[in-house]
A and B are shown apart, each in its own frame.
Chain A
Amino acid sequence: MGEKKSKPISVVKVSNRELFLDSQLMTAGASQSRILEKYEKNPDSLKTQATFAKVIYGILIGILTIMPLITYLQFLQYLNAGVIPVEVLIFTGSLLFGIFFAMQLGYMIMGGMLFSAALMTGETFRWLETMPLTQEDLQKMSFKLVIRSVNAVLIAIVFMFPIVFLFAGINIPVFLLSIGITLIEAIFYVSVLVFIGQKLSGVLMDASTQTRKKTAVRLLYMASYMVLIFGLMIVLQIAIASVDELFITFASSENPTLINILLSLIPYPFAPAYFVLLCTVPTQAPIELWLTSSLGLALFGLITWRLYKRALRALKNVTSAEGEVAAEKEIPIEEIQVEISTTTPFKAYLKKDLLTATRDFTMLMYLIMPIIYPIIMFAATSSGIGFFDSLSEEIGYFIVWLLMYTPMMSGFLTAGLLNVEESGATILASLPIIHRDQAKAKIFLMVLIMTISFVPPLIIYLQHPEFLTFLTVVLSVYPLIWSMVLTMFVMKVRLFGKMKYKYILEELHIEHKIAKWIFMVLVQIGILVGIYFLSFWILQFGVIALVLAYLPIGISALIGLYIAINKMFPKIK
């Protein structure tokens, strides 16, 4: 019994690696054995990759801390100057702190969402149940697994803010106090993460995949999550750009006592924000604010505690096998009809990929990101409409923003669409696959999504008096964009799927994977920079010249790619 105590923790380590290895293998397919071989030779390589991703997120969140730092320094400066009333300063400072906390949550969710969803499907726990662990152990372990998946981020959340504050000149007691507050926040975030994971996996694992309607609902549901999260990002990003201005803007406002009291009562994110800020100026702060923010903070603690409890309960359902996939009505066997209708291989591939996209969250992300990202970027940056001296200057700006994310998007599309094949590796290995058909279906989807993704930015420009010009520019730049994604596709297949007598879409040569991807992205960026230079040079001669230049370049690139792809995937009788 004595040694059993330590077990859960070591098992957490194993299953954490298991989860990561699983995800790696899922994307490896036919070359699984190669990955396993590599894993055997160097077990740490996978761990390094996982750690790398986590640390990047941690650093991102760490960088975010610049926002409260700037805020605090400004706050101190105005406080010492004594021009602006203290209450106004407290209001602005707390508002910004609150926004910072909310941003942390947003980034945290973005970073941990997928892992949490994977965890909440409960598959990892199926084998753990075979071990001599109590249900309680399992539950604790699952919580630890969630925490492990975001541990670097959590460390950043708990410590960065207080430490930055310490450097900005607060005293030790306030430092310790703020660590306490960030700790509560961390628990709050993790609990929220568990709930989001649960919701997502619930949608994903819903076994009733029968009707189209349900699929549509599921898609919508997932898309709304994305929009929600990214929408939040936009609002916050705009806010961060205007830290300095905000202080001045609010300076002339009336005495914000009432707003302060109301805001500081809101448990999250404002109560902790007020409380921390008040602590830094304990004597100058109005007494009623102390009261309300303490109350709000206590409320926040209470909410966090209950959320944490409920998250534990949610995890309990996951860890017990009976938990899910239960409430599903059985169709009597006599009523099951087996109708196997066939289509052309091209359509069969398309159908399979689209079905997968509606049921596999990772795949959906790969396909939706390229559409959502331009919307967000444009929404966040198009505030510049109408602020330009000349049309060609504005067009230049438009092109820069329009094309900026093409390398990333073609990467997403290529990786996503080629990776779906891996979960069906043994089926694909057994089928007489004509790679030309397979490639055709993939290319069709890639080009389609790329095309769609440039429509939303256009919608934003509908109100512009020169809309038709923008439309023409987008239309003429399409061949170039298609060429970029096709270049990515060709590079991926050539680097990963070259066999003696043919090319395959699966990954065969997985060695130097990261280096190859970096190379591919760099090539894309190179092309992009080339297009930028060209555009700015030609724009001197007017927009029409630009359109006239884009079209032939794009079309000849497409022809070249067509010949290359045709060679790689020849027609077979």
Chain B
Amino acid sequence: MEKNSVITVKNLSKFFGEVKAVNSINFQLRPGEVFGLLGPNGAGKTTTIKLLLGLLEPLEGEMRIFGLDPEKDDINIKQRVGYVAEEPLIFKSLTPRDLFKFIASIRGMDDMVASKRGYEYLESLEALPYYHKLIATLSHGNKQKVQIIAAIIHEPELLILDEPLSGLDAKSVKVVKEIIKMHTQDGGSVLFSTHIMEIAEELCDRIAILNKGKIVGIGTIDELRHQADKVGAGLEDVFLRLTEQDASVDEIVKKLRASYKNGRR
């Protein structure tokens, strides 16, 4: 296992019955790096992330976070990781206030520090007005904001974000992007999955493209272009080529055009 990598994954697999959700993947995340997981729906991004956090048990393969095994050392790992899950299940009958108190208590944080950071993040994401509202009554985007704050309030070394920007408004997307950038400037690392190509292009140092549980392309954007034989192309084209969807997209567009015309007449 490489010494100076934050995450190391070797031949990791996880099947759900017939479904090969993650099929023998390998990658590494180095300190200070933003690593993107891209892939169509059902590619295995979320499964990979859950395996890394010890929430699922792998079929085979090896993983290390900070040199620790997520299956055995999940508590130590989680002390140093901030995780934003795909779906904000964050205790709907609490308010953000109750929730942050709970989280800070479990993490054993200092009151002053927690309050200060809590205030700053709430303010910068414009979530202060919701501080005393029941989480059940918040909109999806606001729940997502609360979840993001909950994940970064202890200033973790590694952020693992599963589609962190889903449901956020333009301004909050910008703020979260800033948070990610600042986090890496301080030496932190980020692993995140997304469907938004522009964001991946803008933020990621390296990207792994997953398709049907396998990594079909990995590296910097330039390296990916080479792998896809698409020098000079945008990430979207590279992505579609690597996931072998470019042909089918053309076909779908053609069909759509045809039926659209028919419908008009």
List residues of A whose CB falls within 8 A of some B CB.
29-30, 32, 37, 123, 205, 207, 209-210, 325, 330-331, 333, 336, 338-345, 347-348, 351-352, 355-356, 359-360, 363, 422-427, 429-434, 499-501, 572
Contact = CB atoms under 8 A, between A and B. Distances in A.
B90 A331 contact: no
Interface string B105-131: 111111100110011001000001101
Given A423-B92, A424-B89, A431-B106, A340 B134 contact: no
Contact of B89 (A123, A336, A360, A425): A425
B216 interface: no
A220 B53 CA distance: 42
B132 A347 contact: no
B93 A423 contact: yes
A30 B56 CA distance: 10
Given A338-B119, A430-B81, 17 more contacts: A32-B87, A205-B136, A339-B115, A340-B100, A343-B105, A355-B94, A423-B89, A424-B94, A426-B89, A427-B91, A427-B103, A431-B107, A432-B74, A432-B106, A433-B106, A434-B75, A500-B57
B63 to A, nearest CB: 14
B104 A429 contact: no
A423 B93 CA distance: 8
A338 B122 contact: yes
A433 B88 CA distance: 18
B90 A426 contact: yes
A104 B194 CA distance: 54
A173 B108 CA distance: 75
B76 A430 contact: no
Interface of B: 16, 50, 53, 55, 57, 71-72, 74-79, 81-85, 87-95, 97-111, 114-115, 118-119, 122, 128-129, 131-134, 136-137, 147, 150-151
Nearest to B76: A432
A188 to B, nearest CB: 32
A171 B199 CA distance: 77
A339 B105 CA distance: 13
A200 B111 CA distance: 36
A336 B16 contact: no
Contacts of A499: 57
Contacts of B136: 123, 205
A426 B84 CA distance: 8
6 contacts: A344-B105, A345-B108, A348-B106, A427-B91, A429-B55, A501-B71
A85 to B, nearest CB: 59
A192 to B, nearest CB: 26
Residue of A331, A344, A430 most packed against chain B (CB within 10 A)? A430
Contact of A340 (B72, B111, B137): B111
A32 to B, nearest CB: 8
A419 to B, nearest CB: 12
Contacts of B75: 432-434, 572
B132 A342 contact: no
